[in-house]
Amino acid sequence: MEPSPALPSLGFVGLGAMGAPMARNLLAAGYPVTVHARRHVLVRPLAEGGARAGESPADVAAHSTIVHVMVTDTAAVEEVVLGPRGIIQGAQRDTIVVDHSTISPSGSKRIAERLRAHGIEMMDAPVSGGIDGAAAGTLAIMAGGSEESFARCLPVFRVLGKTIVHIGPNGAGLVAKACNQIALIVNQLGAAEAMLLAERSGLDPMRVKEALMGGFAASKILDVQAPKMIRRDFSGKIESRLHYKDILIALEMAHELGIELPASALASKILTALQQRGGARHDSAAVFTIIDS
């Protein structure tokens, strides 16, 4: 299918567990998409699906008016955006870099300033909803950046997500994402302790979970993570090392603001113990094993 000439050319850098299904959705919506990943093996499935394979982030940018980035941490974003073969080397004026990675807001703002000096706009647009949400195009997208950039990106965001909120200027999306991770990661402790008490009391924990989902304890995390805890199935989707990284970002922000977040601090301790005991690549639901020990 020849892509519609009305649709802007998109780029996608980072084709991991989240990036790949997001890029696939953009292709399926008819956008011309140029992709790149540091692990070249990840490119082929997208190329077979109609994407152009870019040689580098710079090459992706040279063919795109909006360049999406979905990588792991601040260093990785700096490399693909500002590095020697980075987006900044190939992007034209008026390009928008949309970074979906979860990194620190201050790091993201620094990168946005560097880009702006070259006439390139940036949005931080971290997401929540996991791999299933990415595949279904139902992510929550928390966007930070100018009104104008948001308006230009909105049609694309609508392909990727269902709940799309322009939180504020550059960095604001990442602050919202930190809030998201606090709520989610702390809630996960509550789910783990509830399921542990049910199990140790001799109840059927799945039956308890079913009852809880009908009342005020209902949450997406309880629904998705409790069964993994009960089955001890941590062959995970969102690896605990990512939540560990995220909660440290949130605590660093709190420290800079001079506020204490005691439940987040407790969660960071439990996630630290999980990393030390070899659970870094396990699903984050494995915090259950630390509480159950």
Q: Name the active-site residue from 109, 162, 177, 209.
A: 177
Nearer to a second copy, 149 or 219 (CB): 219
Q: Closest approach of Cβ 11 to a second copy, in Å?
A: 24
- Measured distance CA(261)–CA(246) in Å, rounded: 14
Cα separation values, 87 from 20, 33, 198, 286, Å: 19, 15, 51, 37
Q: Closest approach of Cβ 34 to a second copy, in Å?
A: 28
CB atoms closer than 10 angstroms to residue 29: 18
Nearer to a second copy, 46 or 250 (CB): 250
Q: Closest approach of Cβ 183 to a second copy, in Å?
A: 4
- Measured distance CA(69)–CA(18) in Å, rounded: 11
Burial (0-12, 13-18, 19+ Cβ within 10 Å), 226:
buried
Nearer to a second copy, 30 or 130 (CB): 130
Active site residue 245: no
Nearer to a second copy, 92 or 138 (CB): 138
**What DSSP string runs through 133-175?**
HHHHT-EEEEEES-HHHHHHHHHHHHHHEEEEEEEESTTHHHH
Q: Are strands 66-69 and 10-13 parallel, antiparallel or unpaired?
A: parallel
Q: Closest approach of Cβ 104 to a second copy, in Å?
A: 12
Q: How many residues does the chain have?
A: 293
Question: Which residues are marked as active site?
Answer: 177
